[in-house]
Amino acid sequence: DAGVTQSPTHLIKTRGQQVTLRCSPKSGHDTVSWYQQALGQGPQFIFQYYEEEERQRGNFPDRFSGHQFPNYSSELNVNALLLGDSALYLCASSRGQGNQPQHFGDGTRLSIL
């Protein structure tokens, strides 16, 4: 039973570029949440997708957008990259909304030069 898988594992971009990160949820899970984790900090909530719609959003600008597909997988898109976007981007999946346990992937390490 595969857990949450994210791709790519590492990525290097330059300022102003655009990036797409991908996440496949754990089998049986239909809700995907995205987090940004800066070095030495706890994860910060970006947004959550359920039934292919964004249901909740954290304090992130519109440069951060996402999508959820019918198979529950999800993408995180970031436009006009800034140096401050360098971080570990984590995807977590759960079954339904509400207070269900979230299972995390190992993240995508994004470095902006």
Partner 1 sequence: KNQVEQSPQSLIILEGKNCTLQCNYTVSPFSNLRWYKQDTGRGPVSLTIMTFSENTKSNGRYTATLDADTKQSSLHITASQLSDSASYICVVGLGGATNKLIFGTGTLLAVQP
Interface with partner 1 (CB under 8 A): 4, 31, 33, 35, 40-45, 48, 55-56, 90, 92, 94, 97-107, 109
Q: Which tokens is 113 given?
A: 């030069």
Nearer to partner 1 by C-beta: 24 or 48? Answer: 48
Least distance between partner 1 and beta carbon 83 (Å): 21
In angstroms, give the least distance from the CB of 61 to partner 1.
19
CB of 98 to partner 1, least distance (A): 6
Between 14 and 97, name the residue whose CB sits nearer to partner 1: 97
Q: Measured from the CB of residue 78, what is the shortest distance to partner 1 in angstroms?
A: 19
Contact 64, 53 (CB under 8 A): no
Nearest to 91 by CA among 79, 80, 77, 102: 102
In the chain, DSSP assigns E strands to: 5-7, 10-13, 19-24, 31-37, 44-50, 53-57, 64-68, 74-78, 87-94, 103-104, 108-112
Task: Kindly report whether the peptide bond that precedes residue 61 is cis, defined as omega within 30 degrees of 0.
Answer: no
Residue 60 vs 104, nearer CB to partner 1: 104
| Entry field: residues in the chain | 113
Compare residues 33 and 112 and give the one whose CB is closer to partner 1. 33
